Structure 1
Amino acid sequence: MGGSEMSRSVLFLITVGTFQCFLAPTLSAVDFEQDVLPILEDNCLFCHGEDEQESGLRLDRRVSMIRGGDSGLAALVPGKPDKSYLIEVINHVDPDMAMPPDEDKLPQEQIDLITRWIQEGARWPGQMEEAAEDEVDLWSFQQVVRPEVPQQVERDDVGKPIDAFLLNKLEEHDLSYSQPADPRSLLRRVSIVLTGLPPTPEQTKEFLAAFASDPEKAYTEAVDRLLDSPHFGERWAQHWLDVIRWAETNGSEANLYRKNAWIYRDYVIRSFNEDKPYDQFLREQIAGDTMGVGEATGFLVAGPHVPAATVGREPAAIRQARADRMDEIMQTVGASVMGVTIGCARCHNHKFDPISIRDYYAMTAVFQDIEFGSRHPEYSPDHPLRERGAELWRQIAEQRQQLKQMGGWEEDWGAYRELHFKPVSTKAIRIRFKMANVFVDELEVLGPDAQNLNLALASRGTRVSGHPEKGFETRNPIQRINDGDYGTMIWRAQVEKDEDRPWVRFEFEKAETINRLRVSNNREYFYETDYLTKKPNLPRYEFDVDVMTDTGEWQPWVGTWSVNKKLNQEHPERKKLLDKIQRSIACLSEEGPRPSFVGRLIEPEITRVLLRGSPESPRDEVFPAGPKMLGGDLDLTSETSGPRRRRTFAAWITKSDHPLTARVMVNRIWHHLFGNGLVPTTSDFGNAGAPPTHPELLDWLSAEFTEPTVSQRPAWSVKSIIRLLVLSDAFRQSSHPRDSALKVDAGSQLLWRYPPKRVEAEVIRDAVLQASGVLDTTIGGKSYRIHNEKDTYAQWQVTDNHGSDTWRRMIYQERMRRVDDQLFTAFDFPDCGQVRAKRPVSTTPLQALNLMNSDFVVEQSELIAERAEKEAGGDEVKSVDRCFELLLGRAPDADERRDCLELASASGLPLVCRAIINSNEFAFLP
């Protein structure tokens, strides 16, 4: 035994009776510089040293080892070799992460030395006091500090802070504003930007008259009218829906329809119309179920997902699909609220921004109680659906009272059937089915004291047993029947014809008073999807119910035959009552609160970092939190309830001093007003995004958004920030180019003119409908249909994208992912599969063809021509002039009038309308 291996090694043999005790050799402490450093130098530092750090890992500094590399796992945890990722990789536990690789694996004695060094505290002479530096130099992670408004620069009319910042920057480049836009162009611009609709000829005429006498007053009043218009909410809701990828199908292979997802869309429209403070708007979308605004949580499940039926039953596939759904939530929250590509940290530390893999999974922990699916939203007391629902429930209650006098009855709620019977108190019940095959996802037992309290839940201590025994432990065990999980996880009972029929027994922890049973076989399928050729259908199961008496004997109590057949024979008048209650139930499902695709709430599980993003490699537990570098510690644990996690996160993200929230939103507002954000990458404020063109202006607006100083504006008011911007001289400039300015700033980023841009697909379509006079301006409600009904795994087909049932604003058109609407997809209308904080703008021949020859344009052009001729009294010249007024808001000039009269004489006035619709003037903001 050498001295380097042992110090004062002594072996004692002590014999006491039949026991022998050995005192093991005492090992000396590992010397880092003599024992460990040479191993690192010979095998590790070439790739993980000062000059090069593969995978972001540096092994020549103790503090860097503690921080870890891109994996997000600490390479070194002093005193804990089992938590140190370095030990795992040098032991080649995972062949894909073996270091040194292949046959270069360290000898076992060297691995043992490093392990002992870490166990003993990983002492590293000269580096024990070095601490990790957590300073971040990313501009967007710094606190917003309100800058001083620049002093007036060589213009006497600079009185607005927006213009002061912009003119100051223009002065640096020897540029200046362009001349003001003409009043007609200005009205058209501000109308489309604020409401998505151009002004009507009558509105234009009225504005021009007012502008001639008092331009400032006329414009200000026009802006206020547009901000108060209910169409404002429709326009700005669409911007928000683009960012979060909202759609009414799930986007998977089956691409199933999300039933009643439009409830969330209408919430967004109302919120913008009401000018709901933006911080409240965000809190409601993150935790609206705790605030009486449950429909708002549709925000969290707006992205695509793969439904359970497509995922299948393989446990690893189920875990992967759950991780993918959580990532969709991260993408939604990160892009829309934070302006950060947080999803890049799913598998490793973010390559560009100070967001670690631990940050990513800590944020997923915030939302662990959210599942993609449906629930009854928690509506506020004054919500119109809730008021109508209360009225219908009163009707149902009255009808039930009448039916009670005649015994039991059965109600069909589509998703489930509910059997009503005389109340009874019992400690156990037995349900005996009368058919050989039974498929049930949940069998609920309810009592008179609570409408929806399932007394049979396993979580309440209720024990379940039944027949057949065979298959209880397979994929469809009987425990599925009371686990509280609706959907594809079912109890599947199949028996041969000559066997005893299936039966189920529930034993309660204590005697319970019961009066109802609910049976369903895929309740979520019914609640979550629609428009299928094969509708979700619940068979009418026939069964008898027995209750256990105090003596432990079974007593027959009720059966489906007795309430459906026998009582109908005894009380023929029941039929009218049963029909009436079914009509009330049908009305309730359409007109009252209804299960909607706004997220299902589940019990959150412990969240762990997933190595390389794989659910099969769970590592350290993490608590719910925001990113560390943003001060995201929320003081929560894995024991914290799901709603409290989200409420706390929502309060943190909406703090007035949060460095990202206000910046991201005011930049997004700027983008939609001027065509390009002060930060051009509107959903990426990280190092890979573009820096702000006017950083001081961005911060001034952010501070003004949360703590207003101008005109006593309310805090977090979207409308007031928009008003401030559209009243600026910058917004009111002409869009005409100037050669000298184009040489300096061809993209108009410095705002020396109002940047011209093509209007969106919705604006083109809605403007055509408005011009023809057939636009249905009803606000909100179920989407109008343009698609077929389909088989589960078939694709959606467009069947009618132009008929009279579709003459509403385009925001109310069905949003099916991965489907071309065969008209406006050509105008870069998003398919909602990806974040679209900034829509692309393309120019293709297909656009002109659609605006010339599509059924929609042909039909609408005929309607516009008919309207023009009628309003012009049949005069040919006035009819051409009226077409221009309806579509462009102006009369034609002499050349245009002459050419259009020739075309109308040769080919008809509708062709003139189609030509105008194809003009750049119609499709671009002036």
Structure 2
Amino acid sequence: MIRISTLALFFVACSFVAFGFSGGLQASEIDFNDDVLPILEEHCLHCHGEDEQESGLRLDMRGRMLRGGDSGLAALVPSHPEKSYLIDVVNHVDEETAMPPDEDKIPAEQIEILTRWIKQGADWPGQMDQVAEDEVDHWSFLPMQTAFDHNSIDQFLESKLGEAGLTFNRAADPRSLIRRASIVLTGIAPTPKRSDDFVAAFAVDADAAYDALVDELLASDHFGERWAQHWLDVIRWAETNGSESNLYRKNAWMYRDYVVRSFNQDKPYNLFIREQLAGDVMGAGDATGFMVAGPHVPSATVGAEETAIRQARADRIDEVLQTVGASVMGVTIGCARCHNHKFDPISIQDYYAMSAAFQDVEFGSRYPELSPEHPRVVREQELRRELNELRGQMRAPGWAWKEDWQGYQEIHFQPKTTREIRVSFDNGWVNADELEIIEAKGGGQNVAQRSFGTVVRGNPATLVDGKPAAKLTDGVFGTKGWIAKSPPKSKERPWVEFEFPEPVTVSTIRISTNREDFLETDYLNGMNKANYGEFKIELRDDEGNWKAFASTAEMQKRKSGKEKRQDLQSKMQDVISELLVQGPQPAFLATFIEPVETFVLLRGSPETPHGKVDAAGPKQLGGTLDLMPDAPGPQRRAALADWLVDPSNPLTPRVMVNRIWHHTFGSGIVSTPSDFGKAGAPPTHPELLDWLANQFIDPSQQTPWSVKRMIRMMVLSRAFRQSSEPEKDGLSKDASAQLLWRYPPRRVEAEVIRDSILQATGRLDESIGGPSYRIHNVKARYAQWEVVDNHSDQTWRRMLYQERMRRVDDHMFTAFDFPDCGQIKAKRPVSTTPLQALNLMNSDFVVEQAAFLAARAKREAGNDTSAQVTRCFELLLARKPTEEEAEEAIDFAKQQSLALLCRTLINTNEFAFLP
């Protein structure tokens, strides 16, 4: 037996205590000055001290260690060494961030001292009162000013003008004013008659005529179209995903229609924001397309590699945050994805806390949740009643019929009660992803599904390995379904049998091939193609033999006495086609998944998760959401939306009124509309900006958060109504007219040029909403979209409704800085290039429309060339030509053609610029 002396036991115990392994006894206290500071001085402070702070990290001050450096991770979390980034880097957890760099690790005993010091609370004599956060001092993040020396837009502007020795310009002439107001508010130039009427009324009472004009334009349905495009620019909305495959996003236009409708209804802006983040629980499911408006890479392109899947998911969440940051907050949130924001009070912790609010959001399609009053729901009810009436007419004589719902087909027949049913196919090769058998009564349950207890069998002679008939009832839509194939030279054909656990009464069979495409995309070669051909539905007779009672091939035949059935089926298909457009349909408005825990990702990589975070807005902007960590996704999004539009949040109202000012006057009070941070431009009139923001959200107003009220206030101002003519004094002191001594002239956008040409020719289709007009081909999955028709009568709607494909030049108006929708365009660039003149002179669209315009002028003015020329000026420029212009234009029209004169007028600055 080995004996250990009492003295030896004492020394062993002392050793365990000294190194912190006392097994319950108190570890020895670490002294900062004696134990910790020498380690920092030897290994750290030459790069992270008073003179130099690489990566923004300073380790000679406790407060700065608490805050961390550019990585956004706290170097020091008292009592928690496992959360302290300092311990990670000295332990070389990640070789890319190992510290000290290019050296061996610091000795293990020194790492142990640092670890124990942090675990004991990180006592630092003389610095225990230091805090981690810096003060927020940038103007846009501070509370709004509430006391002002002025009480109108013009008073604020005149004050600044006076300081510069300037005054407002003279008033604009009435023709310039109506053109300016019409384009700013509706995006379409006024008609000649409306201009003439306004000029006449203006001569009698200028203020009354202008007030009436503004009210008329604000009430126009075209107002919503114009201002919706501004919003869509900011959020990068488009109808393809922008990836390598660049697939079409099914029915994404439903979100565009929501935006148009919201602006036309003057939906309060705070409600507009709430619905776009949480419309799925507010009866406005079509609003959530906002969150998935940006580009994304679909799962098929990402592949099956787990790291790639995680990275793609992180990228999609980043797209959501970029959209919210640029449009609502006016901050570049994405800059905090890999480290603390370099300029603004947004940390990497804030970035991932905000991302936690969107963990249930996924890019994809769903049936939107709509209120009973929603126009789509109302129209659906009307069409469903019509469809059910036609179905009743089919059932009365006992007929079966087929309905094509694009993504699937339904066969309807007289109710049959049975325990077995078989579907037999004529083709020797069949592919389908799901086959559903619907009960005739009750809730229309799918009795073919596995959970019902149904057994499904396929013809063993046509079996394809890995593609059994059981895939028809697994509830998974896509390409990985059932495949059956007849052996060579065999008469065997595919069939599937369903045996129910008990007798059921059924009346419908629904079958689809790749219904996933039906839900997600469109306009692909072979998409939704029925790869099962014709088939018949069979029951067993008294002898146990299968006997058909319905056949899709028979339904297509026109036999004597069957014309009525064919006519009814044709009418039903027309109703279904209308329902697929006007009713609630699967649309690219986001899908929702179960949210997962959210972690700060070191350097933005999903492979280096650090600390867990809960849903919140930026901490230094008061973004606490008071949510439980496991709050469901809709609750998180709704809470974030409430914080965004809370009156105490100064960013949201400032950003929106500045955006309205930008589109009204051509440049914002802050000239970087989506960046109100330190890297953005300072406001030219900060007091005016805050006054407008206060006016915008003022609860005492009859319509707080009203966009139309704010626009009306701006366009009724003297600043808006003044002339754009240059003045020598103004040009010398303020050439860019930032102080608004004149209304700043500017070239109109691509849409205004195109829509105004169509209006002048009389060919503009003014219908509101619905699917975009098609200008592209039907393509293979990984081919590129090509413009095949951009000027036929099918396309003569407003350009807002042109199919929006990322990475595709429309061969005409892209030259006028129309955005690709891949990048945020809160402020469109304005360029001047030879291609613009070439497009407005020689493009197929302009040549065709100029011919229409000349024909209209001849029709309305008669055979006199002078009258025809005058009519062309009126239709395009809303005025008569001067004597000199008339003389030259008449001569030109006689020598060349009236159509060529029209093309020339379309190329003038007067047509392409806002006066």
- TM-score of the superposition, structure 2-length normalised? 0.88
Q: What is the Cα deviation at residue 239 of structure 1?
A: 0.7
Q: Deviations over 1:286-334 (max 9, x none)?
A: 1112222211111111111112222222222222222111111111111
Q: Report the 3-state secondary structure (helix = DSSP H, G, I; strand = E; otherwise coil) of the residue aligned with 2:171.
A: coil
Superposition pairs of residues 589-604 of structure 1, within 5 angstroms: 589-604=580-595
Equivalent in the alignment of 2:520: 528
Distance 1:382 1:843, change over 3 A: same
Q: Does the 8 Å CA contact 1:298/1:598 hold for their aligned counterparts? A: yes
Superposition pairs of residues 800-879 of structure 1, within 5 angstroms: 800-879=789-868
State the distance in 2 between where 1:277 and 1:229 align. Answer: 18
Q: Deviations over 1:374-427 (max 9, x none)?
A: 11222332333322322333345456666599699875533235577968899x
Q: What is the Cα deviation at residue 580 of structure 1?
A: 6.4
State the distance in 2 between where 1:339 and 1:720 align. Answer: 22
The number of residue pairs the alignment matches comes to 886
Q: What is the Cα deviation at residue 839 of structure 1?
A: 0.3
Distance 1:676 1:806, change over 3 A: same
Q: What is the Cα deviation at residue 693 of structure 1?
A: 0.6
Q: What is the Cα deviation at residue 824 of structure 1?
A: 0.7
Amino acid at match of 1:44: C
Superposition pairs of residues 548-697 of structure 1, within 5 angstroms: 563-564=550-551, 576=566, 584-697=575-688
Equivalent in the alignment of 1:246: 237
Q: What is the Cα deviation at residue 546 of structure 1?
A: 13
Q: Does the 8 Å CA contact 2:424/2:538 hold for their aligned counterparts? A: no
Q: Report the 3-state secondary structure (helix = DSSP H, G, I; strand = E; otherwise coil) of the residue aligned with 1:104.
A: coil
Q: Does the 8 Å CA contact 2:536/2:552 hold for their aligned counterparts? A: no
Equivalent in the alignment of 2:154: 163
Q: Does the 8 Å CA contact 1:406/1:567 hold for their aligned counterparts? A: no
* Greater Cα offset, 361-370 or 538-547: 538-547
Q: Report the 3-state secondary structure (helix = DSSP H, G, I; strand = E; otherwise coil) of the residue aligned with 2:746.
A: coil
Alignment match of 2:717 (pick from 728, 741, 753): 728
Equivalent in the alignment of 1:101: 101
Amino acid at match of 2:515: R
Is residue 273 of structure 1 aligned with residue 275 of structure 2?
Answer: no
Q: Does the 8 Å CA contact 2:223/2:264 hold for their aligned counterparts? A: yes
Amino acid at match of 1:51: D
Equivalent in the alignment of 1:73: 73
Q: What is the Cα deviation at residue 846 of structure 1?
A: 0.8
Alignment match of 2:345 (pick from 339, 354, 361): 354
Equivalent in the alignment of 1:156: none
Q: What is the Cα deviation at residue 717 of structure 1?
A: 0.9
Amino acid at match of 1:532: L
Amino acid at match of 1:181: A
Is residue 540 of structure 1 aligned with residue 529 of structure 2?
Answer: no
Q: What is the Cα deviation at residue 726 of structure 1?
A: 0.7
Q: What is the Cα deviation at residue 696 of structure 1?
A: 0.3
State the distance in 2 between where 1:371 and 1:919 align. Answer: 47
Amino acid at match of 1:416: Y
Is residue 391 of structure 1 aligned with residue 382 of structure 2?
Answer: yes
CA RMSD of aligned residues (A): 4.0
Amino acid at match of 2:830: V
State the distance in 1 between where 2:294 and 2:544 align. Answer: 48
Equivalent in the alignment of 1:255: 246
Q: What is the Cα deviation at residue 76 of structure 1?
A: 2.0
Distance 1:521 1:76, change over 3 A: farther
Equivalent in the alignment of 2:132: 132
* Greater Cα offset, 529-538 or 575-584: 575-584
Distance 1:11 1:638, change over 3 A: closer
Equivalent in the alignment of 1:309: 300
Q: Does the 8 Å CA contact 1:72/1:349 hold for their aligned counterparts? A: yes
Q: Report the 3-state secondary structure (helix = DSSP H, G, I; strand = E; otherwise coil) of the residue aligned with 1:620.
A: strand
Q: Deviations over 1:222-253 (max 9, x none)?
A: 11111111111111111111111111111111
Equivalent in the alignment of 1:717: 706
Is residue 369 of structure 1 aligned with residue 371 of structure 2?
Answer: no
Equivalent in the alignment of 2:17: none
Equivalent in the alignment of 1:775: 764
Amino acid at match of 1:413: W
- TM-score of the superposition, structure 1-length normalised? 0.87
State the distance in 2 between where 1:486 and 1:492 align. Answer: 11
Distance 1:730 1:419, change over 3 A: same
Amino acid at match of 1:524: E
Distance 1:137 1:561, change over 3 A: farther
Equivalent in the alignment of 2:407: 415
For structure 1, which runs of at least 5 residues remain unmatched after alignment? Answer: 1-5, 13-20, 151-159, 548-554
Distance 1:496 1:890, change over 3 A: closer
State the distance in 1 between where 2:321 and 2:769 align. Answer: 28
Alignment match of 2:895 (pick from 903, 906, 919): 906
Q: What is the Cα deviation at residue 511 of structure 1?
A: 13
Distance 1:856 1:527, change over 3 A: same
Distance 1:732 1:464, change over 3 A: farther
State the distance in 1 between where 2:98 and 2:546 align. Answer: 65
Distance 1:646 1:889, change over 3 A: same
Alignment match of 2:11 (pick from 9, 12, 18): 9
For structure 2, which runs of at least 5 residues remain unmatched after alignment? Answer: 1-7, 15-20
Amino acid at match of 1:371: E
Percentage of matched positions with identical amino acids: 58
Q: Does the 8 Å CA contact 1:545/1:558 hold for their aligned counterparts? A: no
Amino acid at match of 1:149: D
Distance 1:816 1:558, change over 3 A: farther
Amino acid at match of 2:814: T
State the distance in 1 between where 2:100 and 2:421 align. Answer: 63
Q: Does the 8 Å CA contact 1:8/1:26 hold for their aligned counterparts? A: no
Q: What is the Cα deviation at residue 670 of structure 1?
A: 0.3
Q: Does the 8 Å CA contact 1:433/1:541 hold for their aligned counterparts? A: no
Distance 1:575 1:887, change over 3 A: closer
Q: Report the 3-state secondary structure (helix = DSSP H, G, I; strand = E; otherwise coil) of the residue aligned with 2:720.
A: coil
Distance 1:335 1:514, change over 3 A: farther
Distance 1:406 1:187, change over 3 A: closer
Q: Does the 8 Å CA contact 1:373/1:524 hold for their aligned counterparts? A: no
Is residue 888 of structure 1 aligned with residue 877 of structure 2?
Answer: yes
State the distance in 1 between where 2:493 and 2:866 align. Answer: 87
Q: What is the Cα deviation at residue 161 of structure 1?
A: 0.6
State the distance in 2 between where 1:845 and 1:131 align. Answer: 59
State the distance in 2 between where 1:749 and 1:512 align. Answer: 76
Q: Does the 8 Å CA contact 1:544/1:556 hold for their aligned counterparts? A: no
State the distance in 2 between where 1:25 and 1:843 align. Answer: 79
Q: Does the 8 Å CA contact 1:297/1:598 hold for their aligned counterparts? A: yes
Q: Report the 3-state secondary structure (helix = DSSP H, G, I; strand = E; otherwise coil) of the residue aligned with 1:731.
A: helix
Q: Report the 3-state secondary structure (helix = DSSP H, G, I; strand = E; otherwise coil) of the residue aligned with 2:607.
A: coil
Equivalent in the alignment of 1:325: 316
Q: Does the 8 Å CA contact 2:402/2:552 hold for their aligned counterparts? A: no
Q: Report the 3-state secondary structure (helix = DSSP H, G, I; strand = E; otherwise coil) of the residue aligned with 1:857.
A: helix
Amino acid at match of 2:523: Y
Distance 1:565 1:187, change over 3 A: closer
Distance 1:417 1:568, change over 3 A: closer
State the distance in 2 between where 1:742 and 1:444 align. Answer: 73
Equivalent in the alignment of 1:32: 32
Equivalent in the alignment of 1:52: 52
Is residue 285 of structure 1 aligned with residue 276 of structure 2?
Answer: yes
Q: Does the 8 Å CA contact 1:414/1:538 hold for their aligned counterparts? A: no
Distance 1:875 1:645, change over 3 A: same
Distance 1:616 1:453, change over 3 A: farther
Q: Report the 3-state secondary structure (helix = DSSP H, G, I; strand = E; otherwise coil) of the residue aligned with 2:718.
A: coil
Q: Deviations over 1:46-83 (max 9, x none)?
A: 22222322222222222322222222222222222222
Q: Deviations over 1:688-738 (max 9, x none)?
A: 1011110000000000001066xx541111111111111111111111122
Q: Report the 3-state secondary structure (helix = DSSP H, G, I; strand = E; otherwise coil) of the residue aligned with 1:593.
A: coil
Q: Report the 3-state secondary structure (helix = DSSP H, G, I; strand = E; otherwise coil) of the residue aligned with 1:47.
A: helix
Q: What is the Cα deviation at residue 602 of structure 1?
A: 2.2
Equivalent in the alignment of 2:744: 755
Q: Deviations over 1:737-783 (max 9, x none)?
A: 22222222111101111111111111111111111122121122221
